[in-house]
Amino acid sequence: MTPAQARNFLYSAQQALNRIEALPFPVIAKINGFALGGGLEIALACDIRICSDKSVLGLPEVGLGIIPAAGGTQRLTKIVGQGVAKYLIMTAKRMDAKEALHKSVVNEVIPHDELDTRIEELAKQMINLGPVALAAAKRSIEVALAERLTPGLEIELNNAVECFQSSDLREGMRAFIEKRPPNYEGE
């Protein structure tokens, strides 16, 4: 992609996840298997994240020469704090479900064969709560950190577009497709 195409694509991804995050009702992410890169970024836009004990989560983008740019750098930081977010993103670490729970990336880990039942129970529990109060609680909680999200997303977008112009991105993508370790030159 050209830098302009990359910006448009990533901006569209950010906006799609902003729409999920802005829904006036609670959104539950059911993570059943791999949630890497964009998959985890979608889950981070949800209010609650429940995963099976067989799940693997991570933001491996820096291993491809890019950054998580659909809101991943911003939302993960807001959820787990700067230190943990830097560690997870800057190492391209993949976590099993237990570690994701320990680092507060997810809210619950459920045995694989009980995941659907737990999600249904949680949804039924929330449906029986006051919808006006749920929406108000969600809006109120989000205000605590939302003031800095928009400028952070813009910075994330600019940094990602810069990555799209690098030869490291092309090398990272080629290495991924060729199933080999990348040979980055820092350009």
pLDDT at 146: 59
Task: Quote the domain boundaries for residue 114.
Answer: 3-177
Residue 22 lies in a domain: yes
Averaged pLDDT, 163-185? 83
pLDDT at 147: 57
> How many domains in the chain?
1
Residue 182 lies in a domain: no
Helix pair 82-90, 72-80: axis angle to 10 deg: 130
pLDDT at 31: 98
Residue 155 lies in a domain: yes
Q: Which residue has the higher pLDDT, 144 or 16?
A: 16
> pLDDT per residue over 106-161, tens digit each?
999 999 999 999 999 999 999 888 787 788 888 877 776 655 667 767 777 777 77
Catalytic residues: 41, 61
The span from the CA of 85 to the CA of 95, in Å, is 13
Residue 156 lies in a domain: yes
The CA distances from residue 41 to 55, 130, 179, in Å, are 15, 28, 24
Residue 171 lies in a domain: yes
Residue 187 lies in a domain: no
> pLDDT per residue over 51-74, tens digit each?
999 999 999 999 999 999 999 999
pLDDT, mean over the chain: 90
For residue 122, the Cα-to-chain-centroid distance in whole angstroms is 21
> pLDDT per residue over 75-113, tens digit each?
999 999 999 999 999 999 999 999 999 999 999 999 999
CATH number at 42 reads 3.90.226.10
pLDDT at 129: 81
Residue 119 lies in a domain: yes
Model's pTM, two decimal places?
0.84
Residue 8 lies in a domain: yes
> pLDDT per residue over 21-42, tens digit each?
999 899 999 999 999 999 999 9
